[in-house]
């Protein structure tokens, strides 16, 4: 009990600051907007409509199943979280320069608050996706019990990446422009708007082995692995390829998870090492 009380006393101030920053960031995000918080739902829905019309209807990007629209909506919602969390986290320290110089508190809270704000938006979007799934009569399986692990991994990936980017952005302001370009590249390199089965179709029967190799390499990317796992566990377990079905060896399938944890460790290490000089540099 004494140990627990000491932990509570030690982190009480940090917890209070974190709650206030999350509350302030979330309120400021939609301040002056007529629809307010509704934009957290409308934005991915509008983007989904555009993507669905362009890629599914005109360009015929589909896996041939009736659940593909839901898979597409889920992928867009998940990617929006990752893009927003990393971008907001990247600008967290530089955007709070005045606050960091005036008040003494753990600086990592600024990055954590930015990612938690994006996590709240993801929770709202997931509620919308779940409603669509219910109306579409998606057959849920026991795999939905694995979803909390998937979302924890996704948040740790976003947090680790945000900590690295936030640190780099203090010293190299060009990093925000570089990251914007990289995010566009990662978006098209991740199976979000197109199913992985389309790669095999485009290569043709004569090059199935090459297509399967490309799919295996793509699934080793942590964002791709997590997004595919969530799609598999929530909506389409029979038609969504994941690392566990692509590889026969479990240790290869765990590579994206290990890479996520490594990125988090690197992010925490770099941030702790250089955060002492943030106020001076800013």
Q: Which domain holds residue 112?
A: 16-279
- How many residues are listed for the chain in this entry? 282
Look up residue 174 and give its DSSP letter: T
CA atoms of 182 and 176, how far apart (whole Å): 10
CA atoms of 196 and 203, how far apart (whole Å): 12
Q: Does residue 160 form part of some domain? A: yes
Q: Does residue 4 form part of some domain? A: no
Domain count, the chain: 1
- Give me 147's structure tokens: 């979803």
CA atoms of 276 and 278, how far apart (whole Å): 6
Q: Does residue 8 form part of some domain? A: no
Q: Does residue 67 form part of some domain? A: yes
CA atoms of 54 and 40, how far apart (whole Å): 22
pLDDT, one tens digit per residue, over 121-142 is 899 889 888 988 998 888 889 9
Burial 62-73 (b: 16+ CB within 10 A, else e): bbebebbebbbb
Residue 51: helix, strand or coil by DSSP?
Answer: helix
- Give me 74's structure tokens: 């889920």
- Tally DSSP H helices, then E strands, for the chain: 15, 0
> Residue 211 has what pLDDT?
82
> Residue 7 has what pLDDT?
56
Q: Does residue 3 form part of some domain? A: no
> Residue 183 has what pLDDT?
94
Q: Does residue 204 form part of some domain? A: yes
Q: Does residue 185 form part of some domain? A: yes
Q: Where are the beta strands (DSSP E) in 80-122?
A: none
> Residue 253 has what pLDDT?
85
Q: Which of 207, 258, 210, 218 is nearest to 242 (CA)?
A: 218
Residue 128 exposed, middle or buried by CB count within 10 Å (0-12, 13-18, 19+) = middle
Q: Does residue 175 form part of some domain? A: yes
Give the chain's residues under pLDDT 70: 1-13, 27-39, 97-99, 101-102, 105, 279-282
pLDDT, one tens digit per residue, over 216-265 is 889 999 999 999 999 999 998 888 888 988 888 888 889 999 999 999 99
Helix (H) or strand (E) holding 31: none
Q: Phi and psi dihedrals of 240, rounded to 5? A: -110, 110
């Amino acid at each position: 009990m004494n140990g627990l009380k000491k932990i509570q006393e030690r982190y009480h101030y940090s917890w209070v600051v974190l709650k206030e920053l999350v509350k302030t960031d979330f309120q400021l995000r939609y301040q002056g907007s007529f629809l307010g918080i509704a934009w957290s739902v409308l934005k991915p829905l509008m983007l989904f409509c555009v993507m669905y019309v362009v890629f599914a209807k005109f360009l015929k990007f589909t896996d041939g199943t009736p659940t593909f629209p839901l898979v597409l909506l889920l992928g867009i919602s998940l990617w929006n979280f990752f893009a927003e969390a990393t971008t907001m986290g990247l600008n967290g320290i530089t955007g709070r320069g005045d606050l960091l110089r005036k008040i003494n508190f753990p600086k990592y809270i600024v990055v954590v608050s930015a990612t938690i704000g994006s996590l709240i938006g993801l929770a709202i979007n997931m509620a919308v996706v779940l409603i669509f799934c219910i109306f579409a009569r998606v057959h849920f399986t026991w795999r939905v019990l694995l979803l909390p692990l998937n979302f924890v991994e996704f948040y740790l990936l976003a947090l680790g990446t945000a900590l690295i980017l936030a640190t780099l952005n203090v010293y190299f302001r060009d990093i925000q422009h570089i990251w914007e370009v990289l995010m566009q590249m990662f978006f098209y390199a991740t199976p979000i708007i197109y199913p992985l089965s389309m790669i095999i179709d485009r290569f043709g029967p004569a090059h199935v082995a090459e297509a399967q190799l490309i799919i295996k390499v793509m699934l080793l990317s942590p964002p791709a692995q997590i997004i595919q796992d969530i799609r598999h566990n929530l909506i389409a377990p029979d038609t969504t390829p994941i690392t566990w079905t692509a590889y026969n060896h479990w240790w290869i399938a765990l590579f994206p998870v290990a890479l996520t944890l490594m990125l988090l460790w690197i992010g925490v290490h770099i941030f702790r090492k250089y955060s002492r000089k943030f106020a001076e540099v800013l």
